[in-house]
Structure 1
Amino acid sequence: MTSLSFFVGVVGNIISVLLFLSPAETFWRIVKNRSTEEFESLPYICTLLNSALWTYYGVIKPGSFLVATVNGFGVVVEMIYVTLFLIFASPTRRAKTGMIFGLLDVGFLGAAVLVTQLVVEGEMRINVLGFLCAGLNIVMYGSPLAAMVRT
């Protein structure tokens, strides 16, 4: 059964990689036009935070190699997106994006790592971080039950 779960995990990772790469056309347009136009940076900043937290979770939880690798890839891709956004944004939007990036991807991520490393240990660290990752997913993407109610 382990080989089946690993196979399903690999298929899930392939799908996740494709999802991380799905905004590539948008960023090609930003580079080509040398402008972020009306695009917002928040989805990419939040996805970067989400990927970074899941990468950390995958690193500290034994047997979570697939979680760490696919989200590590996501961190690299999202960093490229945020960097391109910062390069081609107007000064006002660059400042706003930089502040949100600093608050979420540096401040919040740093605080989460520090707290889980210094305050909790062992299995509790993994549980707290898993709860944090799952909670962030609900905040970012909404609850599946809420989506069912809306339809």
Structure 2
Amino acid sequence: MVSTKGNLTALYLFLSPTYFLFVAFNKQNFCSPTFIRIVKYKSVQAFKPDPYLATFMNCAMWLFYGLPIVHPHSLLIITINSVGIVITLTFCTIFFMYSTWACRKKMILVFIVEAILIAGMIAVTLTLEHTHPARSTLVGVMCLVFNIIMYTSPLTVMRSVIKTKSVRYMPICLSLGNLLNGLVWIVYAALEFDPFIMIPNAIGAISGTIQIALYFKYRKTTNWDEDETRNETEMPPAASNA
């Protein structure tokens, strides 16, 4: 039951940059439909690809962790991360289409590095480890590291929020998804005594809490009516990828 709820909150996390819940909160600018805006204005503006690139890597790692050859009886881990890969690849494709060439080169480089890391992890695990507990431990440690990277990837956006005192480009639904997803999977990990799931999701819950706190702190100083058509080169330096 807890794992099913975990899958639902994880699905919410993956879908949070879309139109999901936007209609209900449109007037309050509470839920930012990131990719709806990107497609509408044909520009990524000051949004960053970091969370989606990190999420793709994280889902790929956990998908391998849940396979029967590594960690048997993990069907729910397989299903939600398979869906996550499809969704994040869709987001990354849209982001790539409307990015500057500099951002595209960065995304290509990151994808190449991620592919090499995933292939290396699979090769090392299947070659050096021959029991399920050993494979689960090895892959679990690597999943833990990349899960932490996924949950802390919004730090670049949080830095910009503090400098600009604007939450315009920090999607609140993504932050809420981090918090809810982290809390549910903490409960699941406690019941299953799985530290590999417990540690990164505790960090995710903390990260989501900080982001939500920043949102409510700076939402009143945010200029929601700023011209949507401004591209990244016209944004303040603090909102750049530097």
TM-score class, shorter = 0.7 to 0.9
Unaligned runs of 5+ in 2: 19-32, 153-199, 211-242
Match of 1:109 among 93, 102, 118: 118
Match of 2:129 among 117, 120, 125: 120
Number of the residue aligned with 2:232: none
SS in 1 for 2:67: helix
Number of the residue aligned with 1:64: 74
Number of the residue aligned with 1:4: none
CA distance in 1, matches of 2:106, 2:148: 24
How far 1:22 moved relative to its partner? Answer: 0.4
Number of the residue aligned with 1:34: 42
Q: Which one-letter code corresponds to 1:97 in the other structure?
A: M
CA distance in 1, matches of 2:113, 2:48: 16
Are residues 1:15 and 2:27 paired? no
CA distance in 1, matches of 2:86, 2:120: 21
SS in 1 for 2:129: coil
How far 1:10 moved relative to its partner? Answer: 0.9
Alpha carbons 2:17, 2:35 under 8 Å: kept: yes
Match of 2:106 among 96, 100, 112: 96
Tell me the TM-score normalized by structure 1. Answer: 0.85
Unaligned runs of 5+ in 1: 1-6
SS in 2 for 1:127: helix
How far 1:12 moved relative to its partner? Answer: 1.2
Aligned structure 1 segments of 4 or more residues deviating by more than 6 angstroms: none
How far 1:133 moved relative to its partner? Answer: 0.7
Aligned residues: 142
Alpha carbons 1:55, 1:67 under 8 Å: kept: yes
Number of the residue aligned with 2:28: none
Tell me the TM-score normalized by structure 2. Answer: 0.54
How far 1:29 moved relative to its partner? Answer: 1.0
Are residues 1:45 and 2:53 paired? yes
What is the aligned-residue identity percentage? 32
Q: What is the RMSD of the two structures over their aligned residues, measured on CA atoms?
A: 2.1
Greater mean deviation of Cα atoms: 117-126 or 82-91: 117-126
How far 1:110 moved relative to its partner? Answer: 1.5
